[in-house]
Structure 1
């Protein structure tokens, strides 16, 4: 059996003796985390015959504090390779001092360099109900949500100094009747959505059992070596002072826990709550899926800014929330609720905005002042927060997507099968080798921000069917990742799929029906392209690395600009069958002038001709000029 963190593994006899002692009475709290440290998460799973997390999540209660009996403690078992809990809250040992020194150093750097504005924001998100804080991720839909759900808060700003008492969120005295803090009222116009959020954040979603099991202290109680060293002094508010360079936000000094033994840092409870609320709202309002994921990561970071948590605490909170949200949404007991919440949100927002299922997404992204309007900016926020201070180590190991995780994408990618959504999660996941993320079932490797943008790789051939009659994402969606792999893509159905990545998949592209949009010069990968039906549209020049074949009835839809090269460049041969159609559009900003000859297709060879060539102009007509290796059109006045 492999040892953990350099420790010698106990013999089989000692292991059995250790297990027996660990489960007895009060010893369970101390010995259980040590068990994971000695045996490693994989051995702990095998020894316990552990169920999949989604089948066992209801074991996350304070009576269960061992990895064998508590599914959350088991999922977070990767932390036991970093930290060994001692006999008391302040006597643990760093098994990976390099990681934990970096962890505390990060806290010191962030808390000592934060601005006053950042500190005030951290206070608000510390004291405000976490579900309410997530509503802002809805962007242009946020105010509508608050009105429809009757969601309110009493905390909107930070005081100038340390408050005299503990502050908690509550319903303001002037709030409308029936208002509620958090996600809102269960009897409101969005009551099913509020109920879904509260259900995902239900009785089995607490981080307290894991805090008790791991007992890793808050950063403001630790020195650089994750040691708790009291100075013997108390501060102006009566709290013990420890040897720590972490600076808590002044407004939060009286909001700190007073019982250190019950106030562990790992995992972060606020982070867990932010992500749980985020994923519940994202299920009901998938039009803002990626933005809600971004906001959850951003708000979780304020826990570090506040001085209340460390990066490993925040990572732990995200891991457990991802697993818990999936388990709750996958639970058959919640099947009717989640369906009703999604239907209610769609009906409410389309009614309030005058949109349809097809146009709600555009409306939900129509506000340029929306904090999360820029997808690339969101990606820059997200990327460093997925791993923080962890470095990748060791060989790359493939990910087996945890059972039930695909439910997280159920409303965001409803046109995919459950197996396909699992492939999306697998091909967009973080690599292995991040010690904390490589725990039981590896929930920490899931990258939901990237998964919202579709496949990361076609490792086998992918067939996708979008149905315009179904509306919403089933009618149209975009895959924005750079797709690699040896497989290819077949697009079916009447809906529209847009590819915007710099794609390198080798298996080719087949369009059978509907619309396929090439939103990048290399969107169509590095294989052959075959159109047997439907319309392939490109608004900018596109390159095909293989050959091109276009059958009867299939349409190639291209935009012509002045002073540009060929719109379609094909490395191989182009074969046009009888009945193939070319539809040309003049660019609105840089249209080619009348009398000019515009290159359309450049290939190594061209065989056949288009049955007809259409041009969206009342004053110009396009006259084809075929050559052995391409096609141009001469634009003449009608």
Structure 2
């Protein structure tokens, strides 16, 4: 569509209005605009100042908190019988389970309480039978939460559908690495082919209710020794992130039975009954091993292919929920598996950055070739190209709702609900590839500002692993509690070139965008520190995309693409800045300022939303403000010759004719 522009120098408002009434619809391109004449009477506001400081997420004092990433090596399966909170990081990260349950090995005298974390003697408890009610079992500390925990499984298993039963069976019997790869959507076949993944569990056999079927496939695939195409990826999943990852020490320490042993009302999927262990004392419920393994695989795949970040997080948590639907685990078991998986993945990625970087590069080169794309932008598009009919994780809203449910499973907060979030040492690596343009410190702040609120059972561990919401973190900052300056480099491609933050961003800080990339703000934002565009393109995809503060377009471009008028306080554009309004029906694309709009020149480009074509003779309202001062130096309208009219409180545009 041809673009037509007209040019106006910045001048006193009366003269601008006079020229606007005379037409001013030049056929020249905006790049040929006449030099801007500075208006000596125009007062240009200063850029917003925000809070004047950045937010931080400091690592806790290591003299009081032993970081999991530094002590992951203590979590060894062979030491399971002797593991304690003092000696084992995999047990320690789940210590808040003692708010609910005291295992028999810790009942050493009447004075022992669950509050004494880390002070219990290293007792070897070999007498546990694993049968609830037995004297070797343990005792409830919070009976109400534990009862709710088991009742959740009763309700889930008595109400599950046939499809849920099948999914639960497949996720139980298949290798977890194979199962979760369907979270890759359009990339699933390419991934499985490149990894040379196989499984022998493709359906529920007719005799599965009496025969145990074990997967004879290779789970995550074939490693680098025999797979030069994708073997580094396979090795990262199969070896690296599986190190120091056993759930067995925690199971042996906490000694909490599986739900079907607590209640005969739990209905295990019939095809899984033959797989029930005959030795309860070696088959603890907390934490869920399947959930932990699925989390390790899925969260690592999300790191390797951040183009499917939230989809892979969703798939990992789905497998956890399927453990509940199977009747094999309780919600608390699954939550424990998630917590340990997050910590383990972070520890192993951090300890093996070189290996992980090689795997990341191999994953992208191989999958991009399989998809037939050559640019990161096209790869992002391809990764989300399927509909819900072929990609179970194509619908963002569904994924978001499922994530919220799977984090807490309906438990109420039983502890202090106001504790500030802390971010564990090394946790920022979990979102490193998702936000390559953020600094180390900024990634930590993303995790802090998107963390689950405090007080939920099990999740308030000393470091903060239990409160990490990886799905929400994938949508960017949750708050600007300090000022955030982001530099994006479009030449690096991928998320360095374009990204979207979908969280509802609160806080008193300001956002500054620099560089050459494009950042979309799509949430119901309420941050008040202001928005300063010093480079690149910042696009408001929601009516409050730019928050409740001032907007300052010094350089770069502000794009308004909200479904109705963008609400701002004050809006200022300098001669070196640019604005683009994506107009549509109603008030779509308009700027609505409760304060002043100050225009010291710069360009304005008018485009039209898909499906919307205004008619010749229409008058479009572009700006409504308490006061409008100055003008744009040029305005370009796609497909039309047009005449602007500036007033003391706004700007309208008459579409004179088609270009």
Which TM-score bucket, shorter chain as reference? 0.7 to 0.9
Q: 2:241, 2:349 within 8 Å by CA — same for their partners in 1?
A: no
TM-score (norm 1): 0.86
Shift of 1:193: 1.0
What is the match of residue 509 of structure 1? 531
Q: 1:522, 1:544 within 8 Å by CA — same for their partners in 2?
A: yes
Shift of 1:50: 5.2
What is the match of residue 29 of structure 2? none
What is the match of residue 424 of structure 1? 446
Where in structure 2 are the equivalents of 1:494-505 lying within 5 Å? 494-505=516-527
Q: 2:201, 2:215 within 8 Å by CA — same for their partners in 1?
A: yes
CA–CA distance in structure 2, aligned partners of residues 499 and 563 of structure 1: 21
For residues 385-419 of structure 1, the C-alpha deviation after alignment (integer angstroms, 9 at most, x for no partner) is: 10114211334100120000000001010100110
SS at structure 1 position matched to 2:575 = coil
Q: 1:99, 1:389 within 8 Å by CA — same for their partners in 2?
A: no
TM-score (norm 2): 0.83
What is the match of residue 85 of structure 1? 103
For residues 345-399 of structure 1, the C-alpha deviation after alignment (integer angstroms, 9 at most, x for no partner) is: 1111222222211221111000013111111110111111101142113341001
Q: 1:565, 1:599 within 8 Å by CA — same for their partners in 2?
A: no
CA–CA distance in structure 1, aligned partners of residues 270 and 331 of structure 2: 20
CA–CA distance in structure 2, aligned partners of residues 547 and 146 of structure 1: 52
Residue of 142, 159, 163 corresponding to 1:113: 159
SS at structure 1 position matched to 2:376 = coil
What is the match of residue 190 of structure 1? 230
Which deviates more, 556-565 or 488-497? 556-565
Shift of 1:566: 6.8
What is the match of residue 12 of structure 1? none
For residues 493-515 of structure 1, the C-alpha deviation after alignment (integer angstroms, 9 at most, x for no partner) is: 10000000010000000001111
- Is residue 2:375 matched to residue 1:353? no
CA–CA distance in structure 1, aligned partners of residues 282 and 235 of structure 2: 29
- Is residue 2:289 matched to residue 1:269? yes
Q: 1:311, 1:389 within 8 Å by CA — same for their partners in 2?
A: no
- Is residue 2:464 matched to residue 1:446? no
For residues 295-335 of structure 1, the C-alpha deviation after alignment (integer angstroms, 9 at most, x for no partner) is: 1111111111111101110010001001111111111xx11
What is the match of residue 365 of structure 1? 384
Residue of 195, 201, 211 corresponding to 1:155: 201
What is the match of residue 313 of structure 1? 333
CA–CA distance in structure 1, aligned partners of residues 596 and 313 of structure 2: 44
SS at structure 1 position matched to 2:257 = coil
Where in structure 2 are the equivalents of 1:295-334 lying within 5 Å? 295-331=315-351, 334=352
Q: 2:65, 2:463 within 8 Å by CA — same for their partners in 1?
A: no
- Is residue 2:67 matched to residue 1:57? no
- Is residue 2:501 matched to residue 1:479? yes
Q: 2:195, 2:220 within 8 Å by CA — same for their partners in 1?
A: no
- Is residue 2:446 matched to residue 1:408? no
What is the match of residue 615 of structure 2? 593
Residue of 58, 64, 75 corresponding to 2:93: 75
CA–CA distance in structure 2, aligned partners of residues 412 and 307 of structure 1: 34
SS at structure 2 position matched to 1:521 = coil
Q: 1:146, 1:184 within 8 Å by CA — same for their partners in 2?
A: no
Shift of 1:563: 4.9
Which deviates more, 293-302 or 535-544? 535-544
Which deviates more, 343-352 or 528-537? 343-352
Residue of 175, 178, 181 corresponding to 2:219: 181
Shift of 1:448: 0.3
Q: 1:503, 1:523 within 8 Å by CA — same for their partners in 2?
A: yes
Shift of 1:568: 1.0
Q: 1:285, 1:345 within 8 Å by CA — same for their partners in 2?
A: yes
Matched residue count: 561
Which deviates more, 61-70 or 492-501? 61-70
SS at structure 2 position matched to 1:366 = coil
Structure 2 residues without counterparts, runs of 5 or longer: 1-59, 106-127, 132-136
Structure 1 residues without counterparts, runs of 5 or longer: 1-44, 172-179, 224-243
CA–CA distance in structure 2, aligned partners of residues 207 and 196 of structure 1: 19
What is the match of residue 653 of structure 2? 633
CA–CA distance in structure 2, aligned partners of residues 296 and 434 of structure 1: 21
For residues 537-565 of structure 1, the C-alpha deviation after alignment (integer angstroms, 9 at most, x for no partner) is: 12233423311110112111012235547
- Is residue 2:248 matched to residue 1:208? yes
For residues 204-246 of structure 1, the C-alpha deviation after alignment (integer angstroms, 9 at most, x for no partner) is: 11101110111100111113xxxxxxxxxxxxxxxxxxxx211
Q: Are the structure 2 counterparts of residues 150 and 162 from structure 1 closer, same or farther at C-alpha, using a change threshold of 3 Å?
A: closer
CA–CA distance in structure 1, aligned partners of residues 410 and 177 of structure 2: 27
- Is residue 2:587 matched to residue 1:572? no
SS at structure 2 position matched to 1:251 = helix
What is the match of residue 12 of structure 2? none
Shift of 1:185: 3.7
What is the root-mean-square deviation of aligned Cα atoms in Å?
1.7
Q: Which has the higher contact order (CA 8 A, sep 6+)?
A: 2
